[in-house]
Chains A and B, each alone.
Chain A
Amino acid sequence: MALLQIKNLTVEFGSEKKPFRAVDQVCLEIEKGEVLGIVGESGSGKSVTAKALMGLIDWPGRVVAEKLEFDGQDLQEMSDKQRRKITGRDIAMIFQEPMTSLNPCFTTGFQIAEALKIHEGGSRSERRMRSLELLEQVGIPDPSARLKAFPHQLSGGMSQRIMIAMAIACNPRLLIADEPTTALDVTIQAQIIDLLLNLQKQRQMALILITHDLALVAEAAHRIVVMYAGQVVETGPVPEIFETPRHPYTAALLEALPERSIGATRLKTIPGVVPGQFDRPTGCLLNPRCEFATERCRRDIPLLQTDADGRQVRCHTPLDREGKPQP
């Protein structure tokens, strides 16, 4: 059975009468030891999905799901106290900006030990030993000195390693990494991704990698979920999605990468931006930006359909192998 099962997760903000759906009926499943990539432009609901999963959506946001199960336990049914026991220990998260997610008032040692104190207990010296061990695991030189350092004394890559150490402190079974490398240099990005994948393999941990860097997902993930304007538009295993994207949005995202147009004089673009609260189109949400949009796309909302190979596409006319829409 899947480690995490989400069925029809919806997150709404704003008034009850005219809510804005940041996440719209998202279904996800992740197995033990799997690396799942979630990609999409900013504003497509990737981070909100992760936050809803961690129980970090505050009022006035509303989280509704048909099913939100982690390892057989229903996360919606349980009390807040029980849920807090799971988040932070079994499900951990690494946030986007390492420089701002650490508390500047406390030493890194204090912040790592805090997670241990809440979830594992143990004496002060035990926690210190464990913190040292964690820092070594994430490849920080001279760990005992770094425990006494404050966040402003660390570089971006170093702070991100501290964040990872905090997240893996209690041996999580699911780690959510929300744009873990966007603020970092390519060389440090490679180090951090390798570190995450090594940890994931060693511990058979499930990893959700949220990013807008398609090339990064192509290298790291097993399966991929493409989101657009709060909806899942395509899912499938990594090589297939990149070779034969079936949703026009996935295809357009791939075409927009400079790597695809080496030698070309112009890059292909997707006109326009992700629709916000006030400019939601009718029918398929992509229709104003889609080159294949038809009358039907402007009228009817497409459903997420599963095809014979187990890939899911939300499109009236999914693309075939040659990139042509099929009616």
Chain B
Amino acid sequence: MSSQDLILEARDLTRYYTVSQGPFKPAATVKALDGVSFEVEAGKTLAVVGESGCGKSTLARQLTMIERPTSGELKFDGFDLVNDSDYQLKLARQRVQMIFQNPYGSLNPRKKIGTIIGEPLVINRHLAKMEVEERVRSIMTKVGLRPEHYDRYPHMFSGGQRQRIAIARALMLEPKLVVADEPVSALDVSVQAQVLNLLKDLQQEMTLAFVFIAHDLSVVRYIADKIMVMYLGQIAEYGQSEQIFSRPRHPYTQALLASTPHLKVQNRKQRVILSGELPSPLSPPSGCVFHTRCPFATSQCAEQVPEIVEFDGRLTSCLRAAEIAAEQD
């Protein structure tokens, strides 16, 4: 694989937030992203999976340049998102677009959808009005909306159609990377399937790369080429989608897979129910951050911080990955 194919490359990416804990107390640091490395190839999909609070959305904020990372490297399509000037980031920003979770909240109810979809063009390109309208109508056809609906308002559309509007808006500037933050979790199964098909078609047609943030693992399995499982701002497991789904090696990935309900009895795994919730990122556990909820944890896990290493064709950050694998196979 040549490095030309890579559209996005992150090395040891970190993002810390300082939070005030009240007067007379020192400010604390939340490590929302703590040394994350990954890459996305052009036209491929990376899915980011994890519970709420694991840093998925922080990652999205770095990729869309809403914030600058604290340290590390983040290279996107020839731009350096950590060190480049604000002017250059403005140029880079046109090539990254985002689709949000809730199509009911992400569209301005006072604007016609033609205006909503055309807005990126009005801001970033200097085009004649007619040209903008023409392009809007053509993209509306592309995402399966009727061009006659140009003058309608968002409330006149169903959830699935609104998500199509949001997708049309994201594609208006012909981006190279689309960050989709739970794009189908607010939709019904039937509509979810329509939107997922649309995303896949558009990806092929326009060689889009997706960073797909989701918690529904069956959706992830369908759409992703690579998967990154995150836990408390760190990578738990990272590798090719099929490998991770067929043989999850990190106990956290195993627990996530086992928690997902399945239709077929033979697909249901022995439930590894995680007790408790995600620990507070203000005071993360010592050693392996997952050891407080891990069914395989030993005293060593509480002390030694695991490094992310290659194992069985993917990267995993479990000290006992080999032992657990030997036990399970």
B262 located at the interface, meaning its Cβ lies under 8 Å from any Cβ of chain A in the complex: yes
How many B residues, CB 8 Å from partner? 39
Please judge, given known A-B contacts A214-B189, A219-B261, A219-B262, whether A186 and B256 are in contact too, CB under 8 Å.
Answer: yes
Known contacts A254-B263, A267-B197: A212-B255 contact under CB 8 Å = no
Complexed CA–CA distance, A266 and B195 (Å): 11
Contact of A190 with B259 at beta-carbon distance under 8 Å, contacts A158-B277, A215-B218 already known: yes
In the complex, the answer to whether A269 meets B197 with C-beta atoms within 8 Å is: yes
In the complex with contacts A42-B188, A186-B217, A190-B273, A266-B263 CB distance below 8 A: no
Interface membership of A270, Cβ < 8 A:
yes
For chain B residues 272-290, which have a beta carbon within 8 Å of chain A? 273-277
B219 on the A face (CB < 8 A): yes
Kindly name the residue among B159, B188, B258, B261 whose own CB sees the greatest number of chain A CB atoms within 10 A: B261
Whether a CB of chain B sits under 8 angstroms from the CB of A83 is no
B263 touches A258 (CB 8 A): no
Cβ of B145 within 8 Å of any chain A Cβ, yes or no, is no
Tell me the chain B residues, 240-294 only, with Cβ under 8 Å from chain A: 255-256, 258-264, 267-268, 271, 273-277
Contacts of B221 in A (CB 8 A): 258, 262
**Choice from A141, A186, A259 contacting B267 with Cβ under 8 Å:** A259
Within 8 Å CB of B271, what residues of A?
A: 190, 194
Residue of A nearest to B262 (CB): A215
Note all chain B residues with C-beta closer than 8 A to A273.
158, 160, 191
Q: Note all chain A residues with C-beta closer than 8 A to B259.
A: 186-187, 189-190
- In the complex, the answer to whether A259 meets B192 with C-beta atoms within 8 Å is no
Which B residues touch A242, using CB under 8 A? 263
Q: Select from chain B the residue with minimum beta-carbon distance to A213.
A: B261
Docked CA distance A258–B187 (Å): 14
Closest A residue to B245 using CB positions = A262
Q: Pick from A193, A194, A212, A261: contact of B222, CB below 8 A.
A: A261
Contacts of A42 in B (CB 8 A): 159, 188
8 A Cβ contacts from B167-189 to A: 188-189
Contacting pair A218 B190 (CB below 8 A): no
Interface presence of A257 (CB below 8 A): yes
Q: Are A218 and B215 in contact (CB under 8 A)?
A: no
Say which residue of B158, B188, B218 sits within 8 Å of A258 (CB atoms): B218
- Taking the closest CB of chain B, its distance from the CB of A144, in whole angstroms, is 18
Question: Do the beta carbons of A256 and B262 come within 8 Å of each other?
Answer: no
- Residue in A41, A254, A259, A261 whose CB lies within 8 Å of B188: A41
Contact B196 A258 (CB under 8 A): yes
Instruction: Find out whether the CB atom of A257 lies under 8 angstroms from the CB atom of B218.
Output: yes
**Is A216 positioned at the interface, with any CB of B under 8 Å from its CB?**
yes
A269's partner among B159, B190, B255, B256 (CB-CB below 8 A) is B190
Q: Which of A212, A262, A267 contacts B193 (CB 8 A)?
A: A267
Does B37 sit within 8 A of A, measured CB to CB? no
Q: Is B124 an interface residue (CB 8 A)?
A: no
In the docked arrangement, what's the CA distance between A28 and B219, Å?
32
Interface flags for B37-61 (1: CB within 8 Å of A; 0: not) read 0000000000000011000000000
B94 within 8 A of A: no
B261 touches A216 (CB 8 A): yes
Inter-subunit contact A257/B263 (CB<8 Å):
yes
Instruction: Answer yes or no: A188 CB below 8 A from chain B CBs.
Output: yes
For residue B207, CB closer than 8 A to chain A, the reply is no
Q: Does B200 contact A (CB under 8 A)?
A: yes
Instruction: State A84–B263 Cα separation when bound (angstroms).
Output: 38
Chain B positions 112 through 139: 1 when the CB is less than 8 Å from some CB of chain A, otherwise 0: 0000000000000000000000000000
Q: How many residues of A contact B (CB 8 A)?
A: 43
Residues on B with C-beta less than 8 A from A270 are: 190, 193
| Nearest chain B residue, comparing its CB with the CB of A259 | B218
Restricting to A193-217, which residues have a CB under 8 Å from any CB of B?
193-194, 212-216
- Chain B residues near A188 (CB, 8 Å)? 51, 277
B194 sits at the interface (CB 8 A): yes
Which residues does chain A contribute within 8 Å of B160, judged by CB atoms? Answer: 273
Within 8 A of B (CB), among A257-282: 257-262, 265-271, 273
Q: List the A residue with the shortest CB-CB distance to B192.
A: A256
In the complex, A26 has a CB within 8 A of chain B: no
Kindly state whether residue A294 has any CB partner on chain B within 8 Å. Answer: no
Cβ of A157 within 8 Å of any chain B Cβ, yes or no, is yes
Contact A185 B261 (CB under 8 A): no
Q: Say whether B260 contacts A186, CB under 8 Å.
A: yes
**Contact yes or no, A260 B263, CB < 8 A:** yes
Q: Which of A41, A219, A258, A270 has the most CB of B within 10 A?
A: A258
Does residue A153 face the partner (Cβ distance < 8 Å to B)? no
Roughly how many angstroms separate A62 CA and B18 CA in the complex, as a whole number? Answer: 54
Tell whether A64 is near chain B: CB-to-CB under 8 Å: no
Q: Does A287 contact B (CB under 8 A)?
A: no
The reply to whether B261 and A212 contact each other, CB–CB distance below 8 Å, is no
Q: Which of B188, B196, B274 contacts A187 (CB 8 A)?
A: B274
A103 interface residue per 8 A CB criterion? no
* A5, CB-defined interface residue at 8 Å: no
Which residues, 219 to 247 on A, are CB-close (under 8 Å) to B? Answer: 219-220, 242
Scoring B158, B200, B221, B222 by chain A CB atoms within 10 A of each residue's CB, the highest score goes to B222
Question: What distance in Å separates the Cβ of A233 from its nearest Cβ neighbour in chain B?
Answer: 14
If A214-B189, A257-B189 are given as contacts, then 17 extra A-B residue pairs at C-beta distance below 8 Å, sorted by A number, are A141-B276, A185-B215, A186-B215, A186-B217, A186-B260, A190-B271, A191-B275, A193-B261, A215-B218, A219-B261, A219-B268, A257-B218, A258-B193, A259-B218, A262-B221, A268-B193, A271-B194
- Can you report 18 residue pairs joining A to B where beta carbons are below 8 Å apart? A41-B191, A158-B277, A185-B52, A187-B51, A187-B273, A188-B51, A190-B274, A213-B261, A214-B263, A215-B261, A215-B262, A254-B263, A257-B263, A258-B219, A259-B264, A262-B222, A269-B194, A273-B191
Give the top 9 A-B pairs by smallest Cβ distance, nearest first.
A190-B259, A270-B190, A267-B193, A258-B222, A215-B261, A256-B193, A41-B188, A185-B51, A269-B193
Residues of B within 8 A of A (CB): 51-52, 158-160, 188-194, 196-197, 200, 215-219, 221-222, 255-256, 258-264, 267-268, 271, 273-277
